[in-house]
Amino acid sequence: MKRKIGHLTILVHDYDEAIAFYTEKAGFALLADNAFGEGMRWVAVAPSADSDTAIVFVQADTEEKRQRVGSQAADHVFLVVETDDCYRDYEQMKARGVTFHGEPSEVPWGVEVVFEDLYGNRLDLLQPREF
């Protein structure tokens, strides 16, 4: 049996502003943006077009969902984005206005730095160490 995580969902206030942040500032690829009528859309982004796992945006359409936008993992890192060059991506994303919590640092598992999306969700930018 073969299984994998195909996509993760993240709550957003607005599809278009989330697309703009993830593609223009974080440098992600827009994989899908399909309208299904009545405001329903399937919007998926990923760190690169060939990524195995995507983030699918879910518009916060209830009060409970709206309260959770930006805090799906409280103040902890929500997702880890792996890269082949943390320093390069940090510089590019920072120049585009992405908010970081510190600078890339060497850790036993690689080089990492935490950044925020437009809603305050924390993501880890990680260049894994080869063991």
pLDDT in tens, 68-109: 999 988 889 999 999 999 999 999 999 999 999 999 999 999
The answer as to whether 1 is a domain residue is no
pLDDT of residue 31: 98
Q: Give the domain range for residue 50.
A: 7-128
* CATH number of the CATH domain containing 80: 3.10.180.10
The answer as to whether 2 is a domain residue is no
Average pLDDT over residues 49-56: 95
C-alpha–C-alpha distance, residues 104 and 65, integer Å: 32
Average pLDDT over residues 17-29: 98
pTM above 0.85, yes or no: yes
Number of domains making up the chain:
1
The answer as to whether 83 is a domain residue is yes
The answer as to whether 110 is a domain residue is yes
pLDDT of residue 122: 96
pLDDT of residue 57: 97
Name the strands in the sheet holding 122-128, side by side, starting at the edge strand that comes first in the sequence: 77-82, 122-128, 110-116, 100-107
pLDDT of residue 38: 84
Smallest CA-to-CA distance from 16 within 121, 90, 118 is with 118
The answer as to whether 51 is a domain residue is yes
Tell me: pLDDT of 40 over 90. no
Tell me: pLDDT of 130 over 90. no
pLDDT of residue 39: 77
